[in-house]
Amino acid sequence: MKISTKGRYGLRAMVDLAVYSTREHVSLNNIAERQMISVNYLEQVFSVLRNAGLVKSVKGAQGGYILADEPSKIHVGSILRALEGELSVIEYESSECRNMIQACLKEMIWDRMNECLNGMVDSITLEDLANDYRRLNGLDAITYYI
Amino acid sequence: MKISTRGQYGLEALVYIALNSSAGPVSIRNIASYCNISEAYILQIFLVLRKAGIVSSIRGAQGGYVLSRKPSEINVKQVLEVLEGPLTPVACIVKECEEPCVRYDICSTRLLWEMIRKRLDSLACSITVADLVEHFHAMDAMQNPDYCI
């Protein structure tokens, strides 16, 4: 049960945007540097995020990316689903039950795990993760607005 | 984040044994035929489950497998962990992680992955083979209302 590199790096990049794009667009180079992810990889990830309507891009010298909405309105679930597809603890094909024990396991384990997983990512927003990021990186103390 | 067929068949086989062991050990052939997978695959899974002390093999003409513990003492987390490894959405939060991440301490997404892991762990811990058997019987009674005569 693994979230792929795309989902992990994509989520980290979105947290970076939430923290740093409060005033201006952020270039992929800056995200790449801070998050230690290659620019090439970020380009792939951001084309998916842009198609999903989660980020907006601006071309030009001052160009870059910005979140399409407030961090408090973007749920982690939307980001992960855009990058990973439906979130499930088991392979989708095998979710069809061929006997009654499998149907029993589905109801008792897989459906409940999926509900737990999806409920969690849909209750946590990018703002929550951005706040954690600021705290862990000592950005709390900085006064942005004077 | 996927639990493979190994974990799924492992649990299916354990419930099958729990449901059918009143008449003695359950043969690999019967398990394989019910689960509709090869005997070799079941044997491979059972080798791991036997080492973990979850099933025992009984030799002889009427031999086969039995649960080593009461169904209420085997939970889903134990079974999935021996067959699949830790129930984690990402590798970096596991102690035995082969490539520790240099950003571990400052990563906010790590907190999310840890929270997901914790919740899934405790859910898997709370479901035992006995619960699965009980639910199976309840489903069976719903489907076959004339079951009890």
Report CA A44 to chain centroid distance, whole Å.
14
Average pLDDT estimate for A8-37: 93
Binned at pLDDT 50, 70 and 90, residue B23 comes out as confident
Contact residues for B72 (Cβ-Cβ < 8 A; gap 6+): B128, B129, B130
- B104 to chain A, minimum CA–CA distance in Å? 10
Average pLDDT estimate for A106-131: 96
| pTM as predicted | 0.90
**Which residues of chain B lie closer than 8 angstroms to A75, CB-CB?**
none
Tell me, what's the ipTM? Answer: 0.92
Closest CA to A15 of A145, A144, A135: A135
Written as one letter, the residue type at A50 is R
- Residues B40-62 pLDDT 10s: 999 999 999 999 999 999 998 88
Give the pLDDT score at B102: 83
**Which helix (H) or strand (E) segment is A134 a member of?**
helix A126-136
- Greatest alpha-carbon pair distance for chain A in Å reads 66
Would the pLDDT of B116 be above 70?
yes
- The verdict on a CB contact (< 8 Å) between B87 and A1 is yes
Token pair of B82 as six digits: 């021996």
C-alpha count within 13 angstroms, C-beta hemisphere, residue A27: 9
Any A CB within 8 A of B111 CB: yes
Would the pLDDT of A94 be above 70?
no
- Residues A62-84 pLDDT 10s: 789 999 999 999 999 999 999 99
Give the pLDDT score at B96: 75
The residue that leads in pLDDT, B103 or B12, is: B12
Average pLDDT estimate for B130-148: 87
From CA A106, how far away is CA B121, in angstroms rounded? 17
- Strand-pairing partners, residue A82, are none
Give the burial class of A24: count Cβ atoms within 10 A of its Cβ; 0-12 exposed, 13-18 middle, 19 or more buried. Answer: exposed
- The verdict on a CB contact (< 8 Å) between B1 and A2 is yes
- B59 to chain A, minimum CA–CA distance in Å? 26
Give the pLDDT score at B149: 52
